[in-house]
Amino acid sequence: MRQNLQILSTESSKVKDKFKLSDEKLILRFQEGDINAYNELVKRYKDRLLNFVFRYFNNREQAEDVVQETLIKLYTHASYYKNIAKFSTWIFTIAKNNALTELRKNKRKQTDSLWTDDGKVIDINSNDQTLDRRVQNEIAVDQLNKFLDEIPENFRMAVVLRDFQELSYDEISKILEIPIGTIKSRINRGRIQLAEKMKHFKEN
């Protein structure tokens, strides 16, 4: 009995260790046939991708369809991933391309709002101290949605990938296919515009 418990404990430990692996290790394991590695990647990225893709639409159902298609491609095209880029860059690029394809099909381009299932306030990750955190923490999601919707799309997408998805400048550059210098400029200008809107909101 004790031996059986030790075996179960060992197996449980192996599963936990697997989920501590990096995204890159998990995708490599999935390429080797480990379905649990795929499931863990889905768990890590489903909500992040949905939040990102929703920027392109004004319809959550459409965003969910695009994310589902992205996760299916992850399953069917895992072999396309090469361990020379971060997994997050690869999967966000797939999601972006799927979203743009869907937009072309619909012949419209709508962007959107940031949301959370539980209605929590979204905190912008401002390492550059561009945004006043005291203001961030007091702004409700629906108001922040309005602010995001009011700034230019090219600024909005860069800010979302950096401050909400917490991707590196290099990753964002690869996803949006523009130079890092341009990315930094758009993020800075987007943050400034958001900060101005937040300040005006607080003063009123």
What pLDDT, in 10s, does the model give residues 167-191?
889 999 999 999 999 999 999 999 8
Share of the chain above pLDDT 90, in %: 37
pLDDT of residue 160: 87
Residues 156-181: b if buried by 16+ CB within 10 A, e if exposed: bbbbbbbbbbebebebbbbbbeeeee
Question: Looking at residue 123, what is its pLDDT?
Answer: 45
Give the per-residue pLDDT at 116: 41
pLDDT exceeds cutoff 50 at 38? yes
pLDDT at 200: 74
Query: Tell me, what's the pLDDT at 81?
Result: 92
C-alpha 141/C-alpha 188 separation (Å) is 21
Q: What is the pTM of this model?
A: 0.62
Answer yes or no: is pLDDT of 18 > 70: no
Tokens of 10: 């060992």
pLDDT at 8: 44
| Domains of the chain, earliest start first | 11-112 (1.10.1740.10), 114-204 (1.10.10.10)
Q: Which of 27-41, 66-80, 156-170 has the lowest mean pLDDT?
A: 156-170
Distance CA 109, CA 98 (A): 13
Residue 121 pLDDT class (50, 70, 90 cuts): very low
Residues near 170 by beta carbon (within 8 Å), at least 6 away in sequence: 89, 180
Q: Is the pLDDT of residue 120 over 60?
A: no
Q: Which two tokens stand for residue 148?
A: 């995001």
